[in-house]
Amino acid sequence: MPDIIQLLPDAVANQIAAGEVIQRPASAVKELIENAIDAGADKIQLIVKDAGKSLIQVIDNGCGMSVTDARMCFERHATSKIRKAEDLFAIRTMGFRGEAMASIAAIAQVELKTRRHEDELGNCICIEGSEVISQEAVAAPAGTSISIKNLFYNTPARRNFLKGNPVEMRHIVDEFQRTALANPGIFFSLHHDGNELYHLPSGGLKQRIVHLFGNNYNQRLVPVEEDTTIIRLSGFVGKPEFAKKTRGEQFFFVNNRFIKDPYLNHAVITAYSEILPDDSYPLYVLFIDIDPAKIDINVHPTKTEIKYQDEKSIYAIIRSAVKRSLGRYNITPTLDFDQETGFNHLISQKPMEEIVQPKVAFNPDFNPFKTEETRSGRESLPKMYERPATAKNWGSLYDIVRSDTNEPQQQQMDLPGNEAVQQADVQKPAEKQIFQLHNRFLITQIKSGFMLIDQQAAHERILYERFSQQLQSRQGASQQSLFPQTVSLNAADFELLKDLLPDIQALGFQIREFGRNTVVVEGIPADIGSNLSESEVLEHLIEGFKNNHAILKLDKRDNLARTLAKNAAIKAGTPLVAEERTLLIDELFACAMPNVSLQGKPVILTFTIEELLQKFEK
């Protein structure tokens, strides 16, 4: 019987490794940017086309590579970071395993141009599917430029599993943000389809956070600093009032490497206990500096998970440090004068002796209760102190009331025990009475007993079916804004909004783009109340959509209808007048599914007379 075990060809082995390392275009972006950082670059440019499916290009001004290194970097397990097994526990660089470039070259068309600073000529290598097509000397700037074209061109099954461009671009932006946060001293830029999404100059961590997420984040940050014998903790956390309903702004870095650790995340959330609702997630950007010998980073292919020798102590340090910072900085607001310069004009530059005390002129003889007759014989007052002329025919203001005294009263206060209400009940016994209980429930009598209706769940059901119908008919009613509002979003939310824009406009929003990551809201759906501004309605819609997508995995239109209905519905604790109660119940029973809320819970509870009699033991 012949032998059946054989060694895999290098091309097949590289494609298998690519399945672990390169899952989507964002994975290739991460590997290339980390290589540029390890090369000592202080300026990194990322250029993306077609959400990375057509082109991913990273240009840096790092140390560059020699002719031999440029060829060797595409071999499996070729690395400049590891020489012996002990080096695995002293790693402070990003890449070290030596599989990224080989995996990328196995599933894409790669062009590498590199030159060392001391060399006069650079080197250019073209590779397709792990095969070297050409290698030649070229004129190139110092550093490295690597282009990845047609990702997964030779594995169409993998390419078919990629999501749409907006989704893939959001993953690329996430990887870009993580790397940019970890390296605020490096200049970064991101271009997508010819548009510059990010231009991040080198600076401090706070400036990098503001440049990434928006100027309004300058007032949301609380510094955290703790130095112990186990770890050194630094960074920023967000104030509780600015917490969001969705995850996505939580960043942990261990030795400048982004990690995902639910255990440490729980430590931060615990520090917010009693000042933050359970379904809210605060912003934090925290850096842990620890001895590499006390951690193991070689436990996951993407290196986003780490094992610690003493994780309980790290948990306690993070929790206490965040809690102390919140208590120290959240009580008295502080101003960052390096960032905010709008108050300079309020500071007087004059010395104290030059400031003149203001003078107030008044007439000591002025008496507003004296009439013109009592003033006769005295010197007339200045015109500015004269009393205004007495209004004439003021008694006619009450003529309308007097003329209607014989007519029956049309409106009465709807209060318990009101005689007018009792009289109306006698006159119109057939009219159904609807009562509101604790401003949360509606009670109405039926033949067999009474119904108890959750007003918020009922309104959510009404709006959800209305918005779903508008999304199908594309005829949502819009309410024009008197003063259009400008809303600035981060790059990820802006890309999401562009993807949702046709459906959002079908609901009644009137939105147009206004510069980079900025939109102008000129109208909102007519069914939304006036308790929120246009910008707040849009921001809540985006946050709710991301939250539902992460938890429920809903269809895009269904997600939009649910999110907008939940945000626009009347909340528990809202008082309703009689007409509003009646309209709410009428519209509820006109719905296709009036008995079930959007969360699958009951909207209506029915109580019979027999059940009430049993309660009273009759």
* Mean pLDDT in residue range 294-320: 81
Least Cα distance to 584 among 450, 442, 467, 464 occurs for 442
Q: What is the pLDDT of residue 182?
A: 94
Cβ contact 85:77 at 8 Å: no
Is the pLDDT assigned to residue 117 strictly greater than 80?
A: yes
User: For residues 250 and 227, what is the distance between their CA atoms, to the nearest angstrom?
Assistant: 21
Least Cα distance to 372 among 391, 393, 389, 394 occurs for 389
Cβ contact 141:97 at 8 Å: no
Least Cα distance to 129 among 146, 159, 150 occurs for 150
Cβ contact 253:231 at 8 Å: no
* Mean pLDDT in residue range 131-160: 91
Backbone conformation region of residue 152, classed left if phi is above 0, alpha if psi is from -120 to 50, else beta: left
The string of pLDDT tens digits covering residues 202-238 is 999 999 999 998 888 888 899 999 999 999 999 999 9
What is the b/e burial string over 164-175, where b = at least 16 CB atoms within 10 angstroms of the residue's CB?
A: ebeebbbbbbbb
User: For residues 430 and 419, what is the distance between their CA atoms, to the nearest angstrom?
Assistant: 18
- Cα angle 146-152-154, degrees, rounded to a multiple of 5: 110
* Mean pLDDT in residue range 580-609: 92
Q: In terms of DSSP bridges, do strands 250-254 and 257-259 run parallel, antiparallel, or are they unpaired?
A: antiparallel
* DSSP at 378: S
Phi, psi of 233 (to 5 degrees): -110, 135
Least Cα distance to 465 among 527, 523, 509 occurs for 527
**Topology agreement, domain 10-200 and domain 454-589:** no
**455: how many CB neighbours lie within 10 A of its CB?**
26
Q: What is the pLDDT of residue 357?
A: 64
* Mean pLDDT in residue range 181-200: 93
Q: What is the pLDDT of residue 368?
A: 64
Given pLDDT bands bounded at 50, 70 and 90, which one contains residue 95?
low
User: For residues 321 and 600, what is the distance between their CA atoms, to the nearest angstrom?
Assistant: 41
For the chain, give the mean pLDDT: 80
Q: Which CATH architecture has domain 10-200?
A: 2-Layer Sandwich (3.30)
**Lowest mean pLDDT, pick from 407-411, 443-447, 590-594:** 407-411
* Domain covering 205-329 in this structure, CATH number: 3.30.230.10
The string of pLDDT tens digits covering residues 151-189 is 988 888 888 888 888 889 889 999 999 999 999 999 999
Q: How many helices (H) and strands (E) does the chain have?
A: 18, 22
Residue whose tokens read 């548009």: 195
* Mean pLDDT in residue range 385-393: 49
Cβ neighbours of residue 593 closer than 8 Å, sequence gap 6 or more: 461, 465
- What tokens appear for 501 in the block? 């824009």
Question: What does the domain layout of the chain look like in residue ranges?
Answer: 10-200, 205-329, 454-589
**Whole-model pTM?**
0.68
CATH topology for 454-589?
Ribosomal Protein S8; Chain: A, domain 1 (3.30.1370)
User: For residues 378 and 362, what is the distance between their CA atoms, to the nearest angstrom?
Assistant: 18
- What tokens appear for 239 in the block? 């104030």
